[in-house]
Amino acid sequence: MTKPLALTMGDPGGIGPDIAIKAWLERTRRGVPPFLLLASPELIRDRAERLGVELSLVTSTPAEAVEIFSRALPVLPLKSPVPLACGTASVESAAAVIEAIDRGVDLTISGAVAAVVTNPIAKEPLLKAGFPHPGHTDYLGVLAAAHTGTASTAVMMLWSKELAVVPVTVHIPLAKVPAVLTADLIVETARITSHDLSTRFGIPSPRLAFCGLNPHAGEGGTLGSEEQDIIIPAIARLRIEGINASGPYPADTMFHADARTGYDAVIAMYHDQALIPLKTLAFDSGVNVTLGLPFVRTSPDHGTAFKIAGTGQAKADSLIEALKLADRIAAAAP
């Protein structure tokens, strides 16, 4: 039996509700797989009214969602109150935002849904409400460990048809990257990436290309020692394990069309080194995929965009790609 995807509302003041509505409206034309929206029905009705669209909405359970999806947007109501704010972040929405994520993961691990797709959240109101995690990816690793009793390292991959990139370090200041970057961290990140590209994306021996940290990949140590001391030894360890790893290469020559034919994914050393090329090549269609988890999770590769929430300007392309990719890799998951 076909299972739906669980889609969280994201921050209720952002564009998550907008693009969820748009994705459902585009379900037939763009082949959007069935999803169950975890949200406040009142919020979704309010946002549809702001967008000026007619929306059929039905409260639903996971078991009913696939049948409902063709004729109405199935919504699983949240227990926490959801402010009808539009265009602003609100601390009062934190409990509902977290509840949606928790329930999406619960439903996925229990097998009630095929995967969880998360709409964008705003970190500041969550942190003000006492949320101790720096972002979605870290929190999902904690939830996975709580469910399985085994520590899970969550790895963020940004995927598009043009390019797949994985940053080794993520949401930390650039000045701290050299101190945080270790051979062990690079090796663990690459192992998880290689494993999931093989088991979930059907790539038998994934080719991983590694960026250098410094300009010109350190130029033999004259522009920095991290390549010689950390990155090259990490790549050597991965090769011994049979992982198809190469580099480190200068980051400024890795992302043109010819270079992209030589690998399946890039392992970048820090956040912007990975995300700038991905968003340049696929700004509207990139997908955030969390690797290393015992369940499938994807997300649009953009933020909450408070300024355009409720205006109709938000594009649903990235969310639609995230839904399609979640459906695809959930079907292939072992």
d(CA 323, CA 334): 19
Angle between helices 16-25 and 317-332 (to 10 degrees): 70
Residue 244 assigned as binding residue:
no
Locate all alpha helices (DSSP H) within the chain, ordered by sequence.
Answer: 16-25, 41-51, 62-69, 94-110, 123-128, 136-148, 177-180, 183-199, 226, 232-240, 257-260, 271-281, 317-332
Q: Look up residue 35 and give its two tokens.
A: 């999803």
Residue 216 assigned as binding residue:
yes
Nearest partner of 136 among 277, 262, 253, 302, judged by Cα: 302
Q: Which amino acid is at 103?
A: R
Tokens 């509700």 correspond to: 17
CA quadruple 311, 9, 119, 129: dihedral positive or negative?
A: positive
Residue 137 assigned as binding residue:
yes
Q: Look up residue 168 and give its two tokens.
A: 């080794």
Nearest partner of 303 among 15, 75, 87, 85, judged by Cα: 15
Residue 195 assigned as binding residue:
no
d(CA 91, CA 54): 30
Whether the upstream peptide bond of residue 248 has omega within 30° of 0, thus cis, is yes
Residue 22 assigned as binding residue:
no
Residue 136 assigned as binding residue:
yes
For residues 58 and 73, is the Cβ–Cβ distance under 8 A? yes
User: Phi, psi at residue 245, to the nearest 5°?
Assistant: -115, 140
| Binding-site residue ranges | 136-137, 171, 216, 271, 279, 288, 297
| Binding-site residue ranges for a divalent metal cation | 171, 216, 271
| Binding-site residue ranges for substrate | 136-137, 279, 288, 297
